[in-house]
Amino acid sequence: MKLQNDRYLFSGGIDPLQLVEKYGTPLYVYNAETIQAQYKRMVSAFSVPRLHINYACKANSNINIMKLLKNLGAGLDAVSIQEVQTGLKVGFAPQHITFTPNSVALDELEEAHKLGVRINIDNISILEQFGHAFPGVPVGIRINPHIMAGGNTKISTGHIDSKFGISIHQMPHVLKIVEAIGIPIDGLHMHTGSDILDAEVFLQAAEILLNTATHFDQLDYIDFGSGFKVPYKPDDFETDIEDFGEKLSARFREFCREYGKDLALVFEPGKFLVSQSGYFLARVNVVKPTPSTLFAGLDTGLNHLIRPMFYNSYHHIENISNPGGKPRIYTVVGYVCETDTFGSNRKIAEIHEGDILCFHNAGAYGFAMASNYNSRPRPAEVLLMDGKDYLIRRRETLDDILRNQVELDFDEAKEHQQNVLNA
Ligand SMILES: *Cc1c(COP(=O)(O)O)cnc(C)c1O
């Protein structure tokens, strides 16, 4: 979205204020062009004979976003059997879907195996169970290299206390099990966590994974997970993917020569592919000065965009109704009856009630983490493609919220209770 002649416009000249007129607020808007550009950037950053980019669809599981990435050539990274099933429905070939769950029962892996998708197992117990239940079936294993990385503790998954992956220190045990049961290990996987600030961290962890790989002779792929950082603030740091890609590719090609086989190099980005494509538009209900703070209260809350409250994440906020307005200092809050702050003490062009505020980086973990808390319907979603806007999810209604509730007949229940007492 760019400021042109005092108006904010999406590429293709689409006016966000007109979208709001048409679809209402709050509204998620995704720009297909940005997703395409990020995907192409990722693909051109790595030069190896076999590169697989699997979209981590938990970031944004709208089927149209999934389809857009499939059409670009991406595979899919699924973390639940439902994501696997959705991926198949959308048209991903089973061999292009990788299932990398945590703490699921053997049944779910059995179902994934039946559907023909690749599986990464992340604990020794299930690895043994799977090996006994499905002799000769190849699986990958998820390793925790214990690299301390990540923007904050809730999403850094490589550290020593993490529930994710099989500890690198347990490899001797894993090797015994694999040998005794005869499990063909066809892949190694790691995912050190989101928001990696330093490409060197990736390379260190990669080294650990490659060392481990020399112990397995039936590998087909090495999956380095994700964690690519995208900029959130106007002058924020982002993973230098071109530089990292060049370095890792060189190391990976060298490894494949030593290993004697062209393994697939796999990544599973979520945020990197979709975060910057997304905008979240909400209306200002109330401007409320208190003795200490000037609040702008919106027609949305942590029920629709939880990242600021949950991860303390920064989302850039602009007043697109008053682009030339004099900046003032606002704390932007939601309408949920709970502390519900989107941003504190932000410099934003003067806000009037009824104005539309725009949140940036809303394409990843925005709608995907939205809920019906406070009995609020979830927002609509719109995809911008080739200069046109397409509704890709209808706004929910009260009926949607009540749909699965089962209403009891209290008079009948009372009668039943009376009969029980009288018996
Ligand atoms: C969440 C997740 C990803 C994607 O992480 P991003 O930070 O969104 O790129 C990749 N792989 C696995 C296994 C995940 O759980």
Q: Tell me, what CATH number does 296's domain have?
A: 2.40.37.10
Scored b (16 or more CB within 10 A) or e, 69-96 reads: bbebebbbbbbbbebbbbbbebebeeeb
223 CA distance to ligand 1 middle (Å): 12
Residue 419: which pLDDT band, with cuts at 50, 70 and 90? confident
Nearest to 354 by CA among 296, 400, 420, 289: 296
The CATH number linked to 99 is 3.20.20.10
Judge whether 208 lies within some domain.
yes
What pLDDT sits at residue 355?
98
Q: Count how many domains the chain has.
A: 2
Give the position, in ligand 1's atom list, of the atom nearest the Cα of 195: 7
Do residues 289 and 369 share a domain?
Answer: yes
**pLDDT for the residue numbered 19:** 98
Range of the structural domain that residue 384 is part of:
2-28+275-402
Mark whether 19 and 168 lie in a shared domain: no
Domain membership flag for residue 341: yes
Do the beta carbons of residue 255 and residue 213 sit within 8 Å?
Answer: yes
pLDDT digits (tens, 9 = 90+) for 29-41: 999 999 999 999 9
Does residue 158 contact residue 205 with C-beta atoms inside 8 Å? yes
Smallest CA-to-CA distance from 230 within 200, 201, 273, 279 is with: 273
Q: How many residues does the chain have?
A: 423
Residue 44 within a domain: no
Report the alpha-carbon distance of residue 76 to residue 92 in Å, rounded. Answer: 7
Please state, rounded to an integer, the average pLDDT across all residues of the chain.
93
CA distances from 152 to 192, 217, 339 (A): 12, 36, 21
How many angstroms does the Cα of residue 225 sit away from the middle of ligand 1? 7
In a shared domain, residues 364 and 245 = no
**Residue 281 belongs to some domain of the structure:** yes
Point out the ligand 1 atom lying closest to the alpha carbon of residue 273. Answer: 9
Identify the band that residue 357 occupies on the pLDDT scale cut at 50, 70 and 90.
very high
Statement: residue 198 has pLDDT above 80: no
Looking at the fold, whether 89 and 69 belong to one and the same domain comes out as yes
Ligand 1 centroid distance, CA of 193 (Å): 7
Instruction: Tell me phi and psi for residue 158, to 5 degrees.
Output: -100, -5
Task: Look at residues 269, 290, 319 and tell me which one is the last residue of a structural domain.
Answer: 269
Please give the model's pTM, rounded to 2 decimal places: 0.95
The domain boundary, picked from 211, 234, 269, lies at: 269
152 plus 301 within the same structural domain: no
Residue 377's contacts (CB-CB under 8 Å, 6 or more residues apart) are 395, 396, 397, 398, 400, 401
